[in-house]
Structure 1
């Protein structure tokens, strides 16, 4: 059994991580591991039981983040150890801002039999604002209440860790095809 692809799809909220990740998983024949799908129902209960006001509440955010990512990475390790490639969908804010943090995650995935890649969905503030308005999801209500302020604080800079940049304005199918073409079993 050789190394299986382990692609971490990251980008700003609303950049299309889930849609692109879903399509990439389909193209690669990989397991789709979405942080929200894997953890939100339990995290909602945890945040409520701790009296928190949401995932970003400073009272619970650090513990919640660690636990959520442990679930995501643990599921990825299980898949990789059985020879199943994975597409991980999450913000990966720490890993994309800190090459050392990405190296730790990459090493963890490699030790489980994966070939880790970081895919970054590039999007402008204007396009992101338009997507959030169009999406109108309940989780975006606070962002939409002060969209200009929110967009001013969103980190749209590319990762400092090695990554594959993807044009998030393209349809998910095109993004997935572009990524598939660029994913090669060559050392980085």
Structure 2
């Protein structure tokens, strides 16, 4: 069975990390979080540039975004080459908005013998704002003012998970994507449909 690369995407505070952690444990996969993999260097860049701790600062978006995501993907590709599945956690804003960006990323995953899957953690804007206020993280600066723009679903093929449901139910929505009982329809859905389960033909 080929290793699986699950890209867990969504708005900040949507519940990506919680779902990804539980999914990685279930799959026996490596958990790779953008903030963990690149956090110390991102903080250093913010201090040196004067952009501060928020990755969404214009300077950080222009100069650091590409390097941060390349570091995350490069780490995942090395993990996949070793035959271990990987669960990647990040907003993946560009990849979920641009089919060409997603396909380029997916092709790099396939090139190392793994199967890519984009998961969208769908969370209502009001819940996102509530969670951001509760965690009061520096990286969320200025984000609560624009939650709706961050909750637009992907235009690229994906599997949707409802973030308002308990984590056990969210995992159940992805059960068919597990390595031991993976159904080809799960991966077919990523090229045929933007919903899960797939719509009847």
TM-score by length of 2: 0.83
**Distance change (3 Å), C-alpha of 1:131 and 1:57:** closer
Query: Does the 8 A contact of 1:34 with 1:88 survive in 2?
Result: yes
Secondary structure of the residue aligned to 1:45 is helix
Query: Does the 8 A contact of 2:55 with 2:139 survive in 1?
Result: no
Query: Does the 8 A contact of 1:6 with 1:116 survive in 2?
Result: yes
Secondary structure of the residue aligned to 2:132 is helix
How far does residue 185 in structure 1 lie from its aligned partner after superposition?
A: 4.8
Match of 2:147 among 146, 151, 154: 151
Aligned length: 182
Residues 34-76 of structure 1: per-residue CA shift (max 9 Å, x gap): 0001001111101211222332222332221111111100111
Query: Does the 8 A contact of 2:177 with 2:183 survive in 1?
Result: no
Match runs of 1:158-173 below 5 Å: 158-173=153-168
CA-based RMSD of the aligned residues comes to 1.7
Residues 134-181 of structure 1: per-residue CA shift (max 9 Å, x gap): 3333333544xxx4x3224x3312101100000001222321232123
Whole-Å Cα distance in 2 between the matches of residues 82 and 151 of structure 1? 38
Secondary structure of the residue aligned to 1:102 is helix
Which sections of structure 2, spanning at least 5 residues, go unmatched? 189-201
Partner residue in 1 for 2:191: none
Partner residue in 1 for 2:40: 41
Which sections of structure 1, spanning at least 5 residues, go unmatched? none
Query: Does the 8 A contact of 1:35 with 1:90 survive in 2?
Result: yes
**Distance change (3 Å), C-alpha of 1:173 and 1:41:** farther
How far does residue 123 in structure 1 lie from its aligned partner after superposition?
A: 1.2
Partner residue in 2 for 1:118: 118
Structure 1 moving runs of 4+ over 6 Å: none
TM-score by length of 1: 0.89
Partner residue in 1 for 2:109: 109
